[in-house]
Amino acid sequence: MALIPMEEILADANEKNYAVGGFNINNLEALQAIIEAAEAEQAPIILQTSEGAIRYINMEYAVAMAKAAAEKASVPIAFHLDHGESFAKIIECIRNDYSSVMIDGSKLPFEENIALTSKVVEAASAVGVSVEAELGQLGGVEDDVVVEEKDATLTNPDEAAEFIDKTGIDALAVAIGTAHGVYKGDPDLDFERLEKINNEVDIPLVLHGASGVPDADIARSIELGINKINVNTAFQQAFTAKMREILEDPDVYDPRKICGPAKDAMKEKVIEKIRLFGSDGKA
Ligand code: G3H
Ligand code: ZN
């Protein structure tokens, strides 16, 4: 199968009320873990790279890896730019065959976010690439996206409808109290706000910073219209914890004996999230 636009994957999720994982890759083993999990669970997936991951992996390698995975896989796969910050980066990804992009204008004033996002939608839709955008701003750290808690803002439900109307995006990332990275305390999600947003808009909603969100809150979010859930930190933690355990043995030096089991640990975590999101068996 070739890479497909995210829009196609999310249309089914939106209709049947489940969520698809927006799973970040940072190296080959992460890609293998996600694909193996998706195949085992027969789940559609959205593979994504941040701008930092592209710098680390290299654009050509990242795209070649995603394309090879999609060609071999029996499940639908979209390849998505996560938190794209500039029009130039969006165009670079489109030219390199990404099937979906996120333009993150969340730190901009409302009208400027609309202007930048509209420009991206015009370019992307001309070549069949899906667009996710963000309104409101999550706290925490995700590669280049660093937002102090005091600067985090929640999505305004009235602005959400206007934003979608004026930009024509395919999916909207909402800020309802989640944060990127490791949580300091328990997240306190604003479900009332999510419900209002969901009542105002028709397109799939996206939850970022989902790693530390309790399972019950994830389930409630899906009931209230979340159709894409981004996870990165939880996978990195599973991978690294296994590596630490193996490296306690000073005689281990073969990277395959370190990264292989770490990949398997990450795969288990991906399977757990796929089942929690209800996307198992939806391929
Ligand atoms: O865009 C990616 C995500 O929002 C991942 O957040 O690292 O907290 O799971 P996380
Ligand atoms: Zn994010």
Q: Is the CB of 21 under 6 A from ligand 1?
A: no
Q: What is the Cα–Cα distance from 53 to 55, expressed in whole angstroms?
A: 5
Ligand 1 in reach of 232 Cβ (< 6 A): yes
Q: In this predicted structure, what is the pLDDT of residue 41?
A: 98
Q: Which residue's alpha carbon is at the smallest distance from atom 10 of ligand 1?
A: 209
Residues 6+ apart with CB under 8 A from 253: none
The pLDDT tens digits for 32-59 are 999 999 999 999 999 999 999 999 999 9
Q: Is the CB of 233 under 6 A from ligand 1?
A: yes
Domains of the chain by start residue, with CATH: 6-277 (3.20.20.70)
Which tokens is 107 given?
Answer: 């730190």
* Section 56-81 average pLDDT: 98
Which tens digit of pLDDT belongs to each residue from 112-163?
A: 999 999 999 999 999 999 999 999 998 888 788 788 877 789 999 999 999 9
List CB-based neighbours of ion ligand 2 within 5 Å.
Answer: 142, 208, 230
Ligand 2 mean position, distance from CA 258 (Å): 28
User: What is the tens place of the pLDDT at every residue in 228-277?
Assistant: 999 999 999 999 999 999 999 999 999 999 999 999 999 999 999 999 99
Residue 273's pLDDT is what? 98
pLDDT tens readout for residues 97-106: 999 999 999 9
User: Counting atoms of ligand 1 from 1, which one is nearest the CA of 138?
Assistant: 4
- For the CA of 145, the nearest ligand: 2
Integer-rounded Cα radius of gyration of the chain: 18
Q: Which atom of ligand 1 is nearest to the CA of 83?
A: 1
Residue 184 pLDDT: 81
Atom 2 of ligand 1, nearest CA residue? 230
Q: Which of 64, 53, 61 is nearest to 25 (CA)?
A: 53
pLDDT of 186 higher than 90: no
Which of ligand 1's atoms lies nearest the C-alpha of 178? 8
Q: Which residue intervals of the chain are DSSP H helices?
A: 6-16, 28-41, 51-57, 59-72, 87-95, 110-126, 157-167, 191-200, 215-223, 233-247, 255-277
Q: Provide the pLDDT for residue 150.
A: 75
- Model pLDDT, residue 148: 80
- Tens of pLDDT, residue by residue over 187-227, are 999 999 999 999 999 999 999 999 999 999 999 999 999 99
Model confidence at 13, pLDDT cuts 50, 70, 90, reads very high
Query: Is the Cβ atom of 231 under 6 angstroms away from ligand 1?
Result: yes
DSSP string, 189-248: --HHHHHHHHHH--S-EEE-S-TTS-HHHHHHHHHTTEEEEEE-HHHHHHHHHHHHHHHT
CB distance 211 to ligand 1 below 6 Å? yes
Ligand 1 centre and the CA of 188: distance in Å? Answer: 16
**Cβ(25) to ligand 1 under 6 A?**
no
